[in-house]
């Protein structure tokens, strides 16, 4: 399933078109939280992280029509990561150089915490996966019976034991495991598909 040919136009192709407001919304809600979460993890305050997120998303919007596939740049996600990382770096750097700013050394520490390479870090990836999964969930939920879905939700998302969830749903423990694996496998496929749609130039 993961290697099924892309039948839908890719997200990037759609936002390049400029008129597809749904695509833009999808794009913003997918990447906005990733950028924001990353900035927060790097020690930016809420308001600053929100500002930075706006800046990054705006710059994508401004340059969308110019974006073209360039193998040297790698994936779109990688490119966006680099842009975000640089902005965070500049922000923290500016804070460090500001005279009398509070927390000089703290800013330096946070700056140092940014890995000096362009590989997306784990926190970036986790947030990205989370956004994709949330979206995938909306898409696949309707394919399952209510009890199957509840078994998955209770165990995988809420983190309860299969025994407890099974007792509540009047399912055997084994049945809970099977139900959970079904949903997870399906979600995983959908996430892969979304990822391909979201990242292909």
Partner 1 sequence: MATADMTTDATPQVDCPSAEELRRLARGHLTDARQAVLTAHLDRCPGCQGRLDEIAADGDKLFTGCMKKLCEPPAPKDSAFWDAMSEVEAEVTGTTPSDMAGNTSANLSDLKLDFLQPTDTPGRIGRLGAFDVIRVVGRGGMGVVLAAFDESLQREVAIKVLDPQLKSNDTAQHRFCREARAAAKVSHDNIVTVYQVSEEEAAGLPYLVMQLVNGETLEDRLRRIGKLSIEEAVRVAMQAALGLAAAHEHLLIHRDIKPANILIDAATNKVKLTDFGLARAAEDLKLTRTGFVAGTPLYMAPEQARGDGVDPRSDLFSLGSVMYESLAGKPPFEGKTPLVVLRRLTDETHEPLHKLNPEVPDWLEDVIDKLLEKNPDHRYQTATELANELTVHYACLKPATMDKVEACPMTQVRSWRSLVRSRSQRKFVSLLAGTFLLGSVAGATGMYFLRPRGGASSEVALAVPDLGPAELNQTDNLKAGAVWSLSPSPDGKFVAAGMEDGTIKLWNLNGGGVSDLGKHDGSVWSVNFTPDGNRVVSASGDGTVQVWNVTSMMMEKGINNRIPVRSAAMNADQTSIVTGDATGMVKIWDIESMGPLLPGGVPDKPRQEFVHRGTISAVAFSPDGTMVASGSANKTAILWDVKTGKAVQRLIGHEGPIYSLAFSPEGDRLATVSWDHSIRIWDTKNGDLVKKIENAHEEGVWSVSYSCCGKILASAGQEGLVKVWDIDNTEKPIRVYSRHKGTVHAVHFTAKGTQLITGGRDGTIRLWKVRD
Q: Whose structure tokens read 């040919």? A: 5
Q: How far apart are CA 10 and CA 33, in angstroms?
A: 20
Which residues, numbered 81-140, are part of the site for partner 1 (CB under 8 A)? 98-102, 122, 125-127, 129-131, 133-134, 137
* CB atoms closer than 10 angstroms to residue 162: 19
**Burial class for 174, CB neighbours closer than 10 Å (0-12, 13-18, 19+):** exposed
What are the tokens at 29? Answer: 């809600």
181 binds partner 1 (CB under 8 A): yes
Q: What are the tokens at 133?
A: 């999964």
Residue 26-65 contact track with partner 1, rule CB under 8 A, x = bound = --xx--xx--xx--x----xxx-xxx-xx--xx--x----
The owner of tokens 């330096």 is 108
Evaluate whether 155 touches 161 at the Cβ level (below 8 Å): yes
Point out which span in 3-11, 77-85, 103-111, 163-171 binds partner 1 (CB under 8 A): 163-171
Binding site for partner 1 (CB under 8 A): 21, 24-25, 28-29, 32-33, 36-37, 40, 45-47, 49-51, 53-54, 57-58, 61, 98-102, 122, 125-127, 129-131, 133-134, 137, 156-159, 162-163, 166-167, 170-175, 177-178, 180-182, 184-185, 188, 191
């Amino acid at each position: 399933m993961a290697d099924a040919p892309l039948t839908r136009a890719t997200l990037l192709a759609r936002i390049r078109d400029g008129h597809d407001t749904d695509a833009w919304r999808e794009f913003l809600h997918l990447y906005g939280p990733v950028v924001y979460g990353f900035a927060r993890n790097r020690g930016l305050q809420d308001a600053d992280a929100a500002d930075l997120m706006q800046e990054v998303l705006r710059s994508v919007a401004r340059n969308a029509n110019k974006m073209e596939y360039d193998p040297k740049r790698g994936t779109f996600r990688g490119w966006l990561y680099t842009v975000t990382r640089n902005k965070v770096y500049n922000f923290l750097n500016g804070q460090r150089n500001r005279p009398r700013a509070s927390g000089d050394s703290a800013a330096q520490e946070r700056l140092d915490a940014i890995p000096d390479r362009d590989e997306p870090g784990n926190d970036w990836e986790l947030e990205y996966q989370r956004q994709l999964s949330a979206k995938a969930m909306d898409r696949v939920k309707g394919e399952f019976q209510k009890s199957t879905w509840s078994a998955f939700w209770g165990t995988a998302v809420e983190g309860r034991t299969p025994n407890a969830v099974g007792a509540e749903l009047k399912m055997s423990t084994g049945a809970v495991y099977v139900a959970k694996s079904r949903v997870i496998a399906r979600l995983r496929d959908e996430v892969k598909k979304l990822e391909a749609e979201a990242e292909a130039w």
